[in-house]
A = this chain, B = another copy of it.
Amino acid sequence: MHVRRVISVASFSLVLALSVGGLSYAQSKELAERLGYPANAKLLIIHADDLGLAHSVDQASFAALEQKAVSSASIMVPCPWLSEVAAYAKAHPQADLGLHLTLTSEWKTYRWGPVASRDQVRGLLDPMGYLWPDVPPVVENASAEEVEREIRAQVDEAIRAGIKPTHLDSHMGTLFANPAFFAAYVKVAHEYGVPFFAPRVPNAPKEVLALAEKNGFLLDGFAMAGEQLTPEGWQAFYAGVLRSLKPGVTELIVHLGHDDAELQAIAVDHPAYGSAWRQRDFDVMTSPEFKKALEENHITLIGWNDLKKLL
């Protein structure tokens, strides 16, 4: 694992559990140099999460990818709109699309089940046979074998759909929530030879860390809008991320969508990371002001496909 700074699972999970936001940085600039940039280069992956979740999310994310407003994105394979994303991937073979490995189905009105056969992943399922709505019941009920079976099924399903994933990461950080899940993630990523987003997981066995060194990337920093961000604070938050960006590779995770009837219904009763939230992210990412701020701060956008070349 290309570890630059220890981000504890606890704080990382908090970020991915959508309760805090901000930046965290490593000291070393090694990754930038390995990518062929000067040690002080400010490299940024702007990463759209949750493709496949909804048509609204797909359309906003495709538009942002087309405009190079985001440089990478990842796909939720068990979600209903996978075929729409697969068609986009086939039509845009250069698009930097990874898999947002998904072990939760967290909305109220709109649910999905596993890709694996239900009988083989019972611990991943709520009483309705959908994936659990949050991370804690996954940790409580699922075995590492079930987790491995399901994420392997998701990678296989994506490949079957014609997608060539540039990287793997974990929806809501579920795979970083315990060392055995993390080991399954590292094992699958290693077998398929795909780079993966890697936080340092405490108590992970040495052999897992050894495997992770082969194709795991712990970036120099990451940033994501936190649950407490108010609509008025949107532009200032993102302007601040760019202004304070440190040298090295940072990932900025965004959630894009159009604030329309479909997305409003999916995110009902959940303003954080909801419909208007995703529209605001889309509006800022595609704004001329944001583009100008990237230039003014001498920031270069890169993707996971650049990291993949280092393997």
Contact = CB atoms under 8 A, between A and B. Distances in A.
Interface of A: 54-56, 59, 80-84, 87, 108-113, 115-120, 127-129, 157, 160-161, 258, 260-262, 265-266
Contact of A117 (B108, B118, B128): B118
Given A80-B80, A160-B127, A109 B262 contact: no
Contacts of A258: 261
A129 B114 CA distance: 11
B129 A109 contact: no
Contacts of A84: 109-110, 265
Contacts of A127: 160
Nearest to A54: B262
Which residue, A110, A111, A117, A119, has most C-beta atoms of chain B within 10 A? A117
Contacts of A157: 128-129
A258 B264 CA distance: 15
A41 to B, nearest CB: 39
A109 B128 contact: no
A259 to B, nearest CB: 11
A116 B114 CA distance: 12
A83 B55 contact: no
Contacts of A160: 127-128
Contacts of A109: 55, 81, 83-84, 87
Nearest to A107: B83
Given A115-B129, A117-B117, A118-B117, A80 B110 contact: yes
B110 A81 contact: yes
**Which are the 7 A-B pairs with shortest beta-carbon distances?**
A84-B109, A262-B262, A117-B118, A117-B119, A55-B265, A80-B80, A117-B117
A110 B83 contact: yes
B80 A111 contact: yes
A51 B262 CA distance: 15
Contacts of A111: 80, 82-83
